[in-house]
Amino acid sequence: MGTSFFTPLSWSDSGFILTGVLNTVTISLVAILVGTLLGLAVGFFRAEANKFTNTLLGAVLDILRSVPLIIQLILFSTYIGAVGHPLDPFVTGSIVLSLYTMAFMSEVFRGGFESVHQSMVTAARSLGMSYWQTVAHIRLPIGLRAVFPSWLGVALSVIKDSALVSVIGYMELLRTSEQLISRTQQPLEILIGVGLFYFIVSYPLSLYGKYVERKMAI
């Protein structure tokens, strides 16, 4: 053993950081994928449902959007622990983050579906399309295209919010860096590296989103 408890950053730490990077990427992709699919279903349902169901469902989704994500993570992981079914932090984090994503995605998709003019749907029906044909060939393609920039915005915020899953013990990037900081006592170098990673992922995508938005505006 060395003379000091603190050892400086070395190349052998890169594997540890890489695990954190991969875990951040994995849980973000899972949450974006599951959240998008669930959000699509819920958003479509809300665009179709009657006012009563809509208000009820809206209230539930509203809770997911009005309680801090970190509290949701703590509550869910404590709850499943207390009832005797503790889950892996990755599974717990994925469930909570996916549901949180779904709450935002459903609003995005609902807006998309409602932006498709009723006259277009009526026209498609009068051409002999079935209900599901109008969904598959008219409402989905047109509605989804309109909300692509907003979808990207939510996806980007999910990548950033995935950092909070560290609170329930998932070894994502920020948590691995925190552990490295407590060993090396070199917070600035490590944090700048972490910040750069998020920036390099997020910035080009946000530029692309702005580009698409500008193209669609005309």
Partner 1 sequence: MEYEFHWNIVFQKLPQLLNGAFVTLHVSVLSMLIGIAIAVLLAIAKMSDARIFSLPATVWVEIARNTPALFQIYMAYFGLGAFGIHLSPYAAVLSALVFVNAGYLTETFRGGFQSIPKTQYSASKSLGMSSTQLYRYIILPQMFRRIYHPMTNQFVWSILMSSLGILVGMNELSGETQRLQSLSFRTLEFFIVAAVMYFLITKFVLFSAALISQKVFKGEL
**Residues for the chain: how many in total?**
218
Residue 163 sits in the site that holds partner 1 (CB under 8 A): yes
Closest CA to 212 of 157, 140, 149: 149
Q: Of 2-10, 47-55, 131-139, 163-171, which part binds partner 1 (CB under 8 A)?
A: 163-171
Question: For the chain, how long is the longest CA-to-CA vector?
Answer: 82
Return the C-alpha torsion angle 55, 61, 63, 69, nearest 10.
Answer: -170
Q: Of 29-37, 103-111, 137-145, 194-202, which part binds partner 1 (CB under 8 A)?
A: 194-202
Kindly tell me which residue out of 178, 184, 212, 213 binds partner 1, with binding defined by CB under 8 A: 178
Q: Of 5-13, 29-37, 61-69, 95-103, which part binds partner 1 (CB under 8 A)?
A: 61-69
132 alpha-carbon distance from chain centroid:
28
Q: Of 10-18, 35-43, 47-55, 185-193, which part binds partner 1 (CB under 8 A)?
A: 185-193
Token pair in block for residue 84 = 């005797």
> Cα–Cα distance between 205 and 210 in angstroms, integer?
9
Token pair in block for residue 179 = 């552990």
Of 13 and 161, which has the nearer Cβ to partner 1?
161
Touching partner 1, residues 63-92 (CB under 8 A): 63, 66-72, 74-75, 78-79, 82-84
CB 162 within 8 A of CB 97: yes
Number of residues counted as binding partner 1 (CB under 8 A):
37
Of 2 and 84, which has the nearer Cβ to partner 1?
84
Q: State the DSSP string of 7-64.
A: ----TTHHHHHHHHHHHHHHHHHHHHHHHHHHHHHHHHHHHHS-HHHHHHHHHHHHHH
CB 162 within 8 A of CB 27: yes
Residue 192 sits in the site that holds partner 1 (CB under 8 A): yes
Of 63 and 136, which has the nearer Cβ to partner 1?
63
Residue 135 sits in the site that holds partner 1 (CB under 8 A): no
Q: Of 30-38, 125-133, 142-150, 184-192, which part binds partner 1 (CB under 8 A)?
A: 184-192
Of 75 and 127, which has the nearer Cβ to partner 1?
75
CB 101 within 8 A of CB 34: yes
Which positions lie near partner 1, rule CB under 8 A? 63, 66-72, 74-75, 78-79, 82-84, 156, 160-161, 163-164, 166-167, 174, 178, 181, 186-188, 191-192, 194-195, 198-199, 202-203, 206
